[in-house]
Amino acid sequence: MKTQVTLLILGLCLSSGVHVHGGCKEGFVFRNGGCVDTGRDAQQYKTKQSAGGCNDGFSYTGTECEDEDECDSVIPICGLDANCTNTPGSYYCTCRTGYRSSKGEKFTAVDSRCKDINECVEKKPCDPRQTCENTLGSFKCSCRDGYRKGRGDLACEDINECDTDPSICGSESEGNCTNTQGSYTCACRPGHSNYGNGQGRCTTLTCDGYDDGGSDEQAEGGLERLWAMMRQNCENLISGDEDSSHTGHGLLEDVLTGTDELLSHSQSMDDNSQVTGLLTLMEKAMMLIGPQLKQNRTKMESQHTEAEFAVKRGKAPPTGSVLLTTESASFKTSWETAAGNGTYPGFTVVALVSYKSLNSTSASSFEALREEMQAEKRKEQQEQKVEVSLQIISNVVTACVSNPDSHHLDQPVSFTFKHPQEMNESERLNYTCVFWERDVWSRRGCVASSNSTHTVCTCNHLSSFAVLMALYDIKHTFELQLLTWIGLAVSLACLFVCILTFGLCRSIKGTRTTIHLHLSLCLFLADLIFLCGISRAQKAGCGLVAGLLHYFFLAAFSWMLLEGVQLYRMVVLVFHTTLRPAHMMAVGYGAPLAIVIVSAIAYPQGYGTDQHCWLSLDHGFIWAFFGPVCIIIFLNALSFLITLWKLAEKLTSLNPDLSNLQMIKGFTVTAVAQLCVLGGMWVFGCFMFKSVAMAYLFTILNSLQGALIFIMHCLMSKPVRDEYAKFLRSICNPEKRKYTEYTSNPSSNSQQPLKTNPSTGQSQL
């Protein structure tokens, strides 16, 4: 019975629209266990509760609980994109037009936020002739290019560009304009082209400049294939028969590949006219390729070449600055300079090409510039003689723009080159900006500003540019030459006496004497050639002088190596310490000759430089001398260390031969001193053409080596001194010498001649 009553009450509640557990009809809120009207009956729930507190959404005013208006706040509780509606004890948010919430139409700030609706994507409200632009809470429709705001019911209507601008495709003799919906097309007349751009202005295009037989410089150096390729592309543009594989990007790739084939063979660029032909071709190619490129920026790199393009198209000439960069150089100009003041063809091209292996040109390309710079230096320093050595230290770059009058620019352009190594400018070193002009380097119209790492060239014209490093000859030329003449004269005199001594004195004949004889002879000839021919730069025979110096200085070091080997054998070997003459000649003269022959065949241009008749620093050719010298110095140093070690062992033995060991010790000390002087001389010789101090030290040591050999091997040797004394006595008292020879008894045992140890040259009784 009880269950039936409960079900009856529940049914009555459901039929009346009242829900248990706080569910209320619309317009009612659940408060304190019951549903109350939000309007007429809400006042009774504002009274203070028996517990002394108010429900959520109400605040106590002292006498009653009053509803809090959550919508009345400085910072909108629902955000700027929603409307807030207050309710007794609560509130709800609704999104403004153009926004929506993920929680439905009504929500609170805790539940969700309003987000913008992208009408352009979801609703596509604009006409096909319009573009849609989404905005916060709305959208905007505007006419596409080629359309304008229509009249009447038309949102947008087509613009007839051919009527609006009759010259949009050029003059009637250049091209015809055909209007299309939202656009137009240009059909160029014969002899004209818009480089494959259907909306481009037709301009006059002639292919005569791409004739491979048009000039000698164009036909030089195997460039015929590249000229023919560009001529074919030009003719296709004029006829409208375009081959997609040989336009724009494809043609650029083919040109760089062909250029690589030329630059990979360095001998192909030895002639100035060949360099001119290549640079002329690249300038014309860049201006033919640029307008055909589809992208605003194009960069391409090959093994020997790097290129970058910037292209802007439009009805009006572009403005602003433009910067192109390669690995070691950059080019900065303005679009106004690139476009020029002539008729605007509808596009502007800026191009930069960098050649990674074109920094070595023939000496004749520097002659005029060298004479000009030498004259300026003489006038500046009031020197009678100034020599300057010129060398390209940067990549050569070619810069091109659409402006046909690029030889006389209204605004200067700038190039920034990176130095291969850090070097500051000084009295002797100067960086100069140069460009290629008629087979020679010139600096006309360019100003250079440099630090240790970069050079900025500001020029009023465009061409192919590079940075030139000028090394001026060292100062105090007369003093250094005087010291060289005096020092080498002393050295030659001492070496000449040594040659006579070692060659004529029979009492000191032996292996070491033979080695010293040939060492002195090689140094004598080397010093004599050095004195007479080192300054014959840029004259006939300079290469021969450099080759002879290379040979005789290497031979001198080879005989020093033989001396170290001989000392080692004297200490380590008890018997058979002598060296065979044939073996000594093979090492002393044969090995240096082989090195010189191989070097001359490998790089004949390495003998003789623009400044001195010595080995060139290019391509590491100087190591044809310093490499063998370093090996000989190392082997000799090792031999001397082993010799001294063995000497120390024998001196501490039980029965040392003190006299013989002391003699070998003396030989070793003199050989080490000789190696230090001759080897140390070439340490300073590495830098003699770059530093005044090094040049003086080299000259001093070069003059000391002859005197050192004379002092150590002649004056410090008792048998040699005895021979000198005998020779002087024979000159001073010739009659006494004859009488002594006549009265002497040859069979007497009291006057035995000196015997010489053939292995050492040391006289013995």
- Helix/strand/coil (H, E, C) string of 389-405? EEEECCCEEEEEECCCC
Is the pLDDT at 118 greater than 90? The verdict is yes
pLDDT at 628 over 70: yes
The structure tokens listed for 661 are 């060991």
- DSSP letter at 83 equals E
pTM of the model: 0.54
Residue 2 above 80 pLDDT? no
pLDDT at position 46 is 45
SS in 3 state form for 262-310? HHCCHHHHCCHHHHHHHHHHHHHHHHHHHHHCCCCEEEEECCCEEEEEE
3-state helix, strand, coil in the chain (%, to 5): 45, 20, 35
* pLDDT single digits (tens) 493-503: 999 999 998 88
Most confident of 645-649, 686-690, 708-712, 752-756: 708-712
pLDDT at 100: 92
Assign 17 a pLDDT band (cuts: 50, 70, 90): very low
- Identify the pLDDT of residue 1: 47
Report, as an integer, the average pLDDT of 47-64: 68
Q: Is the pLDDT of residue 274 over 80?
A: yes
The answer to whether residues 252 and 307 touch, using CB atoms and an 8 Å cutoff, is yes
Query: Quick check: 117 pLDDT over 90?
Result: yes
- Angular region, 22: left φ>0, alpha ψ -120 to 50, beta rest: left
Q: Which of 1-10, 199-208, 305-314, 619-628 has the lowest mean pLDDT?
A: 1-10
Of the listed ranges 368-377, 428-437, 728-737, the least confidently predicted one is: 728-737
Domains and CATH numbers, the chain: 57-116 (2.10.25.10), 243-476 (2.60.220.50), 484-652+664-725 (1.20.1070.10)
Residues 6+ apart with CB under 8 A from 213: 219
Q: What is the pLDDT of residue 315?
A: 79
Residue 267: the pLDDT is: 53
- Which band of pLDDT confidence, cut at 50, 70 and 90, is reported for residue 736? low
pLDDT band at 692 (very low <50, low <70, confident <90, very high): low
Which residue did the predictor score with more confidence, 490 or 26? 490
State the average pLDDT over residues 116-131: 91
Q: What is the pLDDT of residue 480?
A: 66
594 band by pLDDT with thresholds 50, 70 and 90: very high
Which pLDDT score is estimated for 491?
87
pLDDT tens for each residue of 659-678: 555 555 555 566 566 566 56
pLDDT of 9 reads: 44
| pLDDT at position 684 | 56
Tell me what pLDDT residue 694 has. 66
- Plot region of 483 (φ>0 → left; ψ -120 to 50 → alpha; else → beta): alpha
* pLDDT-wise least confident of 435-439, 456-460, 633-637: 633-637
Give the other-Cβ count within 10 Å of 585's Cβ: 12
Task: Return the pLDDT at 688.
Answer: 56
Tokens read off for 502: 């070692």
Task: Tell me what pLDDT residue 721 has.
Answer: 83
Q: What is the pLDDT of residue 597?
A: 94
Are residues 550 and 624 in contact, defined by beta-carbon separation less than 8 angstroms?
yes
- Residues 589, 448: Cα–Cα separation, whole Å: 50
Q: Which residue has the higher pLDDT, 264 or 694?
A: 264
CA 282 to chain centre: 21
Given pLDDT bands bounded at 50, 70 and 90, which one contains residue 339?
Answer: very high
Average pLDDT over residues 142-159: 86
Please indicate whether residue 645 or residue 624 has the higher confidence score (pLDDT). Answer: 624
3 state SS for 217-237? HHHHHHCHHHHHHHHHHHHHH
Residues sharing a CB contact under 8 Å with residue 111, sequence separation 6 or more, in sequence order: 101, 103
Kindly tell me if the per-residue pLDDT of 757 is higher than 60.
no
Largest CA distance in the chain: 178
* Tens-digit pLDDT profile for residues 459-483: 999 999 898 888 776 545 566 677 7
- pLDDT band of residue 28 (cuts 50, 70, 90) is low
Is the pLDDT assigned to residue 183 strictly greater than 50? Answer: yes
- Whether the per-residue pLDDT at 351 is higher than 90: the answer is yes
User: How confident is the model over 196-218, as a mean pLDDT?
Assistant: 73
Average pLDDT over residues 80-103: 92
Q: Is residue 418 pLDDT above 90, yes or no? A: yes
Mean pLDDT score across all residues of the chain? 79
Number of helical H runs and strand E runs in the chain? 19, 31
Q: What pLDDT band is residue 6 in, cutting at 50, 70 and 90?
A: very low
For 211-260, what is each residue's pLDDT tens digit?
A: 754 455 445 556 888 888 888 888 888 887 765 556 788 899 999 999 98
Tell whether the model's pLDDT for residue 639 goes beyond 80: no
Name the residue with higher pLDDT: 484 or 131.
131
pLDDT at residue 337, rounded to an integer = 94
Determine the pLDDT at residue 473.
61
Q: How confident is the model at residue 563 (pLDDT cuts 50, 70, 90)?
A: confident
Which has the closest alpha carbon to 269: 356, 330, 371?
A: 356
Q: Of 40-49, 487-496, 733-742, which range is least confident?
A: 40-49
- Check residue 433 and give its pLDDT: 94
Q: How far apart are CA 84 and CA 108, in angstroms?
A: 9
| Spatial distance between the Cα atoms of 219 and 649, rounded to a whole number of angstroms | 76
For residue 445, give Cα distances in angstroms to 324, 339, 365, 390, 431.
Answer: 21, 21, 18, 19, 15
Q: Which of 448, 444, 467 is nearest to 456 (CA)?
A: 448
Listed range (409-423, 439-453, 470-484, 719-733) with the worst mean pLDDT: 470-484
Q: What is the pLDDT of residue 531?
A: 82
pLDDT tens string 706-725: 887 888 778 877 888 888 88
Q: How confident is the model over 178-194, as a mean pLDDT?
A: 90
